[in-house]
Amino acid sequence: MCRTRSGSVRPFAVIDSAPAFRVAVAKACAQLNAGLGMPHDGPLPAAERARVRTDVGRDMFTQQYGRPPKEPRELSSFIARHSRTASTAVAGFDLSFTPVKSVSALWAIAPKDVADQIAAAHHAAVQDALSWLERDAVRTRGGRNGVQQLDTTGMLAAAFAHRDSRAGDPDLHTHVALSSKVRVRTADGTPGRWLSLDGRVLFKATVSASERYNTRVEAELHRRLGLSFTPRSDAAAAAASGRRTIREVTGVPEQLLTHWSSRRARIDIRRAQLAVAFQTEHGRPPTHGTARSRVSGVRDQSALGGAVPAAALHLRSQE
């Protein structure tokens, strides 16, 4: 799996004024603080700020459409759309390459010679996906208003291999820090000016890069160790809901995968609890941004009860 994170990623950004919704929320929060004798820009409790956002969103929706929202989800969607900020420049991108859980589980319990082959297969797949991105997705823009798409000489990136999750479960994965700066390839093939990487192209390519990585991992593990992959037991449910079918290493017990997915299980439980509490308190589902910010604390190791360091689990400290 390949994921891309960065914040707002459109290069050559023109940073406009804040959206009207956010301005209205800021004004309402300032008035609330003034009534409490607090500084106008002082922080409000998360629950109070969410209430203000709901009230402002409901008023703006009614003004725009001439009617109140028909259902909570309609209001939540409206707030999410009008909360987005204008494009901003970024320093770089975080690409994360992670094999399916059974690969990490097998890597953790296998003899060292087998584990080395599993790690090598992962690294080869990462390299293949990065080479593809560099060749087909690393572009920049030029011309008036950035209408030209320009080829580049390559990308600047640093890869960091990790062996466990924050909860201490085996989790072989690689983070790639990709610079947002690239050099234009001139007509004669020589490096030209330094410009910003076009993040729109990169984001559109992440699904393809992810599938390329997944396919290459399977091919490498089959070539090196003769491993095969089969769809998980929830494949039918995934297909029915439009989700991607996940293939795991044949023969690795699902009970082991569940046991070594403790962080994911805790996060999912806590996310559901927070969503229900927000719906009860504010009468609408949380927006994606709100849900992500509220569950961010759960991702911290301390919120998970303190993860045991990988060294204490006697996972491989050196390959």
In whole angstroms, give the CA distance from residue 170 to residue 310. 8
Tokens of 161: 């291999």
Candidates 193, 124, 116; CA nearest to 152 is 193
Give residue 13's pLDDT: 40
The tally of CA atoms less than 13 A away on the side-chain side of residue 186 is 6
Each of the 319 residues of the chain gets a pLDDT tens digit; together they read 655 543 333 333 444 456 788 888 888 888 888 888 888 778 888 888 888 999 999 999 999 899 999 888 889 888 888 887 665 667 889 999 999 999 999 999 999 999 999 999 999 999 999 999 999 999 998 887 778 889 999 899 999 999 988 778 889 999 999 999 999 999 888 889 999 899 889 999 999 999 999 999 999 999 999 999 999 888 777 777 777 888 999 999 988 888 877 655 556 666 676 777 777 777 777 776 666 665 555 544 434 444 444 433 344 433 4
| Alpha-carbon torsion angle 137, 220, 158, 84, nearest 10 | 50
Q: How far apart are the first and last CA of the chain?
A: 22
Count of CB atoms within 10 A of residue 186's CB? 13
59-74 pLDDT per residue, tens: 999 998 999 998 888 8
Tens of pLDDT, residue by residue over 104-120, are 999 999 999 999 999 99
Nearest CA among 211, 202, 213 for reference residue 136: 202
Closest CA to 74 of 312, 283, 314, 215: 283
Tokens 């050099």 found at: 183
Give the C-alpha separation, 286 to 296, whole Å.
14
What DSSP string runs through 126-142? Answer: HHHHHHHHHHHT--EEE
**CA distance to 79, 215, 285, 289, per residue, from 278 (Å):** 15, 40, 7, 13
For strand 247-249 and strand 229-231, is the pairing parallel, antiparallel, or unpaired?
antiparallel
User: pTM of the prediction?
Assistant: 0.62
How many other C-beta atoms can be found within 10 angstroms of the C-beta atom of residue 98? 23
Per-residue confidence (pLDDT) for residue 131, from 0 to 100: 95
Are 52 and 29 in contact by the 8 Å Cβ rule? The answer is: yes
What long-range pairs does 313-316 form, CB within 8 A, spacing at least 24? 313/164, 313/168, 315/108, 315/163, 315/164, 315/170, 316/108, 316/112, 316/115, 316/163
Using alpha carbons, list the distances in angstroms from residue 42 to 30, 34, 38, 67. 8, 10, 7, 33
Handedness of CA 146, 149, 152, 155 (dihedral sign): positive
pLDDT at 269: 63
